[in-house]
Structure 1
Amino acid sequence: MKLTILGAGFSGQAIAEAFRTVTGDIVGTTRSAEKAEQLRQQGIRPLIFDGQAIDAALSARLAETTHLVQSIAPGQAGDPLLRAGVPPLATLCPRLAWAGYLSTVGVYGDHGGAWVDEDTVLNPVSVRSRERVEAEDGWLTAGDVAGVPVAVLRLAGIYGPGRNTFWNFEEGTARRLIKPGQVFNRIRVEDIGASALFLAERKMGGIFNITDDEPAPPQDVVTEAARLMGVAPPPEIPFETAQLSPMARSFYGENKRVSNAKLKALGFSFAYPNYRVSLADLWRDGRWRGRRSGE
């Protein structure tokens, strides 16, 4: 198995860690030499890729890749492997046996707190979510044309070692925003890696929600973290009066409960099925500090 990860950030590195149990041939792309060295220290062979032109080194690697994970957001220009002028997937990756595309549960849009699953009609609100829908469709179509199973992994809010509520307390940014009825799903980053490996080993394609079992109000997560730390939770702040960036406020404009039943029915078991189990695990051994890596 030769795994290539386009965009080896927070999620991509967790996927590499999971795949390391079955292969030592892992390449990950990044945009900077500094981050390339960080990948090298983690046993990931780095290639510099800015998400634009595919150079000779990356082209050569793609030609021998058997398993591919695409984690780079499309942006206005579209997906870097599906843009005009880029060879078809079968030409670019002639040995490809499976591909995974990392998307977001944001493609569902707002459903007023109702449950959604992979068959729910999409209602993307933000521009970035609409771009993700286009990229999802492009990858599924490219897989069909190439005869390669493509799994679209729709990820909930990602957290884990180095990126979590404990860090918010450490940095003085923890807040309890109250918007009645608002819930979010979350996903521990290690479960992203494990689910990608699960699907890859079975050569499964299609759309899969990668999320925990329990959508919950965001303030409950902050309160639980405070309890574990033995500190007082921050005061409640009404959403209407909270100072938020436009992007942060847009997240609160989408309210839904995302089901992971499809993946679990295939036999996958989440190691961190809810935020309480996960926060307790992170706090118990201090792994919450992790590496402060970006996506």
Structure 2
Amino acid sequence: MPHMLILGMGYTGSRLAMRLRAEGWHVTGVRRAADAETLDFSDEAAVLTAIARASHILSSVPPEGDADPVLTRYGAAIAAAPAIWTGYLSSTGVYGDAAGAWVDEASPTGLARRAARAQADADWGALRPDLRRFRLPGIYGPGRSALDRVREGRAHRIDLPDQVFSRAHVDDIVAGVLASIHYGPPGIYNLSDDLPCAQNRLIEEACALLGQPAPPLLTLEEAQLSPMARSFYAENRRVANGRAKRLLGWSPLYPTYREGLRACL
């Protein structure tokens, strides 16, 4: 039985674990606040044992400050592990601001505000020759989409007409990871949908699906966003997914936000 070790059982990691278990895999999860089904990240003996036993290892843990906590604590063990497949969930934020241009896996990284993310991405890439790095854009899915923000009164439309983003449904990310296990070579893969567009279009579509009026168009100052939310609008790029399609035989089930939001609804 294949054995997947997932370090970081957040939204995407948990969704992947559910899919793998449904396909007959043994899955071990690691998280900060362990429960009956996961290991505690600080329990080194248990985590090191799991690393040594797993046939597949994936980290979805982002950097903390300037360091990647998984690499700091367990990097040497993962580098030496007998696993036949290793992966890391990175971010398309490593590309920085492209002024709305397309970026692909060969584009420069380490720009702008995501220096720690870009460094972690590079460090994981140097860890093992068989590593797969999945660079992910904004992730949405059931319980975490524009529909939820509209329902909760947290949705905004920002008056930035030239601002463009890419995104991916969580199940398309899971499908990309699985495709790389079965088909693709090691390397870097952008897992994004086929339609980069303004965030306002998602909010307007969500409002239409819910039968609610769209929120007013605001400036960044009027919206009074949190620093993290505001930083989201500091970058502008379109993410190309052609490499994943060519080498993994992957194609998003939800090629645009329209199909993805309807599925969430």
Partner of 2:96: 109
Q: Distance in 2 between matches of 1:241 and 1:124?
A: 28
Number of residue equivalences: 263
Amino acid at match of 1:62: I
Q: Distance in 1 between matches of 2:106 and 2:75?
A: 31
Determine helix, strand or coil for the equivalent of 1:87.
helix
What TM-score, normalized to structure 2?
Answer: 0.93
Partner of 1:27: 28
Quick check: 1:62 aligned with 2:51? yes
Q: How far apart are 1:21 and its partner, in Å?
A: 4.5
Contact 1:28 1:47 in 2 (8 A): yes
Q: Distance in 2 between matches of 1:258 and 1:189?
A: 16
Contact 2:110 2:118 in 1 (8 A): no
Partner of 2:134: 153
Q: How far apart are 1:259 and its partner, in Å?
A: 0.5
Q: Distance in 1 between matches of 2:73 and 2:58?
A: 20
Contact 1:2 1:66 in 2 (8 A): yes
Q: Distance in 1 between matches of 2:51 and 2:74?
A: 16
Contact 1:17 1:193 in 2 (8 A): no
Determine helix, strand or coil for the equivalent of 2:76.
coil
Quick check: 1:228 aligned with 2:217? no
Determine helix, strand or coil for the equivalent of 2:39.
strand
Q: Distance in 1 between matches of 2:28 and 2:240?
A: 32
Amino acid at match of 1:105: T
Amino acid at match of 1:87: A
Q: How far apart are 1:238 and its partner, in Å?
A: 2.2
Amino acid at match of 2:40: I
Q: How far apart are 1:78 and its partner, in Å?
A: 2.1
Contact 2:7 2:58 in 1 (8 A): yes
Amino acid at match of 2:4: L
Partner of 1:279: 261
Partner of 1:143: 128
Q: Distance in 2 between matches of 1:85 and 1:19?
A: 23
Q: Distance in 1 between matches of 2:43 and 2:124?
A: 17
Q: Which has the higher contact order (CA 8 A, sep 6+)?
A: 1
RMSD: 1.8
Q: How big is each residue's C-alpha offset from its partner over 1:130-180, in whole Å with a ceiling of 9 and x where there is no partner?
A: 112211221221113xxxx11110001011011011111221111111212
Determine helix, strand or coil for the equivalent of 1:82.
helix
Determine helix, strand or coil for the equivalent of 1:20.
helix
Q: How far apart are 1:222 and its partner, in Å?
A: 0.6
Q: Distance in 2 between matches of 1:31 and 1:83?
A: 15
Partner of 1:291: none
Amino acid at match of 1:6: L
Determine helix, strand or coil for the equivalent of 2:148.
helix
Contact 2:51 2:78 in 1 (8 A): no
**Greater mean deviation of Cα atoms: 55-64 or 231-240:** 231-240
Distance 1:150 1:54, change over 3 A: farther
Q: How far apart are 1:25 and its partner, in Å?
A: 0.7
| Runs (5+) with no aligned partner, structure 1 | 38-44, 284-295
Q: Distance in 1 between matches of 2:74 and 2:143?
A: 38
What TM-score, normalized to structure 1?
Answer: 0.84
Amino acid at match of 1:236: L
**Greater mean deviation of Cα atoms: 164-173 or 252-261:** 164-173
Q: Distance in 1 between matches of 2:57 and 2:83?
A: 7
Q: How big is each residue's C-alpha offset from its partner over 1:209-247, in whole Å with a ceiling of 9 and x where there is no partner?
A: 011111111111111111111111111112343211222
Partner of 1:48: 40
Partner of 1:255: 236
Q: How far apart are 1:84 and its partner, in Å?
A: 7.3
Partner of 1:134: 119
Q: Distance in 2 between matches of 1:214 and 1:178?
A: 20
Amino acid at match of 2:108: V
| Runs (5+) with no aligned partner, structure 2 | none
Q: How far apart are 1:86 and its partner, in Å?
A: 5.4
